[in-house]
Amino acid sequence: EVKLVESGGGLVQPGGSLRLSCATSGFTFTDYYMSWVRQPPGKALEWLGFIRNKANGYTTEYSASVKGRFTISRDNSQSILYLQMNTLRAEDSATYYCARDIYGTWFAYWGQGTLVTVSA
């Protein structure tokens, strides 16, 4: 069974940093792209970026809204995905989800989400 479990969310001050984790199991982690998606309270989903699989060199892509502030990485030995978030702003407050694809693209598996609140 595929499982994705996010952790690391919480309250952080503007300008601060936070690292989210997504622990995975039930599949060969290195075979898959892994993405982060967020959702502010009551608002729409926003794709943040992904890290490619082993076959594609674990390279990354980001949305413009987080590029340069957020970094996606993976620990393939422990099957954990990370999202390092720096210089956080109030508008980064959201539930953050990790997601895994099927057939190389579609987000068939999602974690339960972890809430990040950026506030003084």
C-beta closer to other proteins: residue 16 or 104: 104
C-beta closer to other proteins: residue 48 or 85: 48
Q: Least Å distance between CB 67 and other proteins? A: 10
Q: Least Å distance between CB 35 and other proteins? A: 8
The set of residues, in sequence order, having a beta carbon less than 8 Å from that of 19 and lying 6+ positions away, is 8, 82, 83, 84, 85
C-beta closer to other proteins: residue 16 or 42: 42
Residues that bind other proteins (CB under 8 A): 35, 44-47, 50, 61-64, 97, 102-103, 105-108, 110-113
Q: Least Å distance between CB 116 and other proteins? A: 15
Cα→Cα distances 71→12, 18, 35, Å: 17, 11, 11
The set of residues, in sequence order, having a beta carbon less than 8 Å from that of 93 and lying 6+ positions away, is 40, 41, 116, 117, 118, 119
